[in-house]
Amino acid sequence: MSNLTFSHYIDTVTQSNRWFRHQRKKVLACLLGLFAMLVLAGIASLSFGPAGWDLRLSIAWLFPGTWHDISQLQLNIISEIRLPRLCLGMLIGAVLAQTGAATQALCRNPLADPSVIGVSSGAAVMAVSTIALGPMLLELFGVNASMLLPYAAFAGALVATLLVYQFAQSAQGVQVTSLILVGVAMNALGFALIGLLSFYADDSALRLISYWTMGSLAGANWSALTQAMPLLLISLFGLWSKRQQMSLLLLGEAEAKYMGVNIKSVKNQIVIFVAIGVGAAVALTGLVGFLGLVIPHLSRIVVGANLKYVMPVSMLLGALMLLASDWIARIIVVPAELPIGIVTAIIGAPVFIWMLRRQLMPSR
């Protein structure tokens, strides 16, 4: 190797190392900034609401006796209503963003997310079935339908995911066009079944179904959170453990296989982890759209396409967006509460259109 060639090689390696150090610093700064914003959003969520608007509430709850004019009733509202709602919002936001990033990596399609390809509608059909048939299940079998809701939604999400993925398969792998078209058909079928079940549901179940299909964190409590947390954590940690394999899948199935990835096994595991997370999330909060589609896009804009960085940023950003949306839903029509799915759609749709325009517009 000549001195000139060796010098050029050293310069290239040095520039590459500088770029990686700069990227790590950028990701770290982004994570710290999002964490700080999440802490502030959590304080706002605990301190503000229809029952009280006082920043001292969160401090008085953390340090009892700080202010004697804070009543025990206000502290109980934080402990039993606002805190489980805060924890559930952060967990659901992180799971929906994570499953969105995983679905896009699995399909190698930036338009894929659990709601677009029919996974959410599959979970919704089973959850609505459980709600609509709840009185019959209780009367005939003595089974409380609310206890079955997360598991029924998981089963629906898993079946929908497997069907969509199977129908989109071809000799060349998963076809993007087929994936989206099958997802559209699955969504149409799912909402038709939801409409049919709503038609036969009684008045109490119908009100619950109507509100539930628009998404809400109003039903958050420690019992529901404890019941669904294992499923949500399994989904989060399971998908995080597959980040390297998913990054290789983005290069193409042939390349990933050449690098030692068991394609079939990894895909099956990703499908199961996505179904677990989406099923549990849909069972607890109903249909909350655009998080799984928009958040991974925003994360890639900030930190690049490496899933090692995209996934943690997506989790924090998803938790932050859902907390902010829930806070807006709680205060915008006091004393009533706006369904959170409406807020996320109003925020997410313009952001997604802006991102599409940003990608389609030629650089100047």
pLDDT per residue rounded down to tens, the chain (364 residues): 444 454 443 445 454 455 556 678 888 888 999 999 998 888 888 877 666 566 777 777 766 666 666 677 777 778 888 889 889 999 999 999 999 999 888 877 777 788 777 888 888 888 888 888 877 776 776 777 677 777 788 888 888 878 887 887 776 666 667 777 888 888 889 889 988 888 888 777 787 787 778 888 887 888 878 878 888 999 999 999 998 888 888 887 778 888 888 887 888 888 888 888 888 888 788 888 888 888 998 898 888 888 888 999 999 999 999 998 988 888 887 777 888 888 888 888 888 888 777 766 655 4
Task: Return the structure tokens found at 23.
Answer: 């990227």
Task: Give the CA count within 13 Å in the CB-facing half-sphere of 333.
Answer: 9
The pLDDT value recorded for residue 10 is 44
pLDDT of 51 reads 60
Q: Judge residue 11's burial from the number of C-beta atoms within 10 Å of its C-beta, 0-12 exposed, 13-18 middle, 19 or more buried.
A: exposed
Neighbours of 70 (CB within 10 A): 19
243/249 Cα distance (integer angstroms): 10
Torsion, Cα 149 150 152 154, to 10 degrees, reads 160
| pLDDT attached to residue 223 | 83
Backbone φ, ψ for residue 169 (5° rounding): -75, 150
Single-letter amino acid, residue 176: V
Nearest by Cα to 288 from 34, 40, 89, 150: 89
d(CA 281, CA 273): 12
Closest CA to 228 of 92, 114, 100, 321: 92
Distance CA(361)–CA(359), nearest Å, equals 6
Residue-level pLDDT at 21: 66
| pLDDT attached to residue 174 | 61
